[in-house]
Amino acid sequence: MASHYFQISSDTSIHARITHPANKNSEKPLLVFLHYYGGTSSTWYKLTSPESSTSLSVLYPTISIDLRGWGQSTGPTTDEGSAYSVSSMASDVAIVLEMLSTTESTKGLLEHGLVVVGHSMGAKTALGTITHISRNLIAAFKGLVLVAPAAPASLDLPLEMKAQQQVAYNSDESIRWTVENVLANAERLSAFDKDLIVRDSLSGNELAKKAWPSYGMVEDICPALKDTLVSMQTGLRASVIFGEFDIVEPKERVEAEVGHFLTENGVQVVLKKADGVKHLIPLEAPTVIYDEVCRVW
- Please report which confidence band the pLDDT of residue 168 belongs to, taking 50, 70 and 90 as the band edges: confident
Assign domain 2-296 to its CATH architecture: 3-Layer(aba) Sandwich (3.40)
Q: How far is CA 94 from the centre of its chain?
A: 13
State the pLDDT at residue 271. Answer: 97
Q: How far apart are CA 210 and CA 162, in angstroms?
A: 9
State the pLDDT at residue 158. Answer: 66
Cα distances from 276 to residues 15, 250, 266, 285, in angstroms, run: 33, 13, 31, 9
* Mean pLDDT over the full length of the chain: 94
Average pLDDT for 62-85:
96
pLDDT tens string 77-120: 999 889 999 999 999 999 999 999 999 989 899 999 999 999 99
Q: Which of 65, 56, 70 is CA-nearest to residue 32?
A: 65
Amino acid identity for residue 103 in this structure: T
Q: How far apart are CA 137 and CA 130, in angstroms?
A: 9
State the pLDDT at residue 85. Answer: 97
Average pLDDT for 153-166:
75
Size (the chain), residues: 297
Q: How far apart are CA 127 and CA 116, in angstroms?
A: 9
Given a cut of 70, whether residue 266 has pLDDT beyond it is yes
Q: Per DSSP, what are the bridge partners of residue 143?
A: 115, 237
Name the residue ranges covered by the structural domains of the chain.
Answer: 2-296
- Please report which confidence band the pLDDT of residue 207 belongs to, taking 50, 70 and 90 as the band edges: very high
Q: How far apart are CA 192 and CA 49, in angstroms?
A: 14
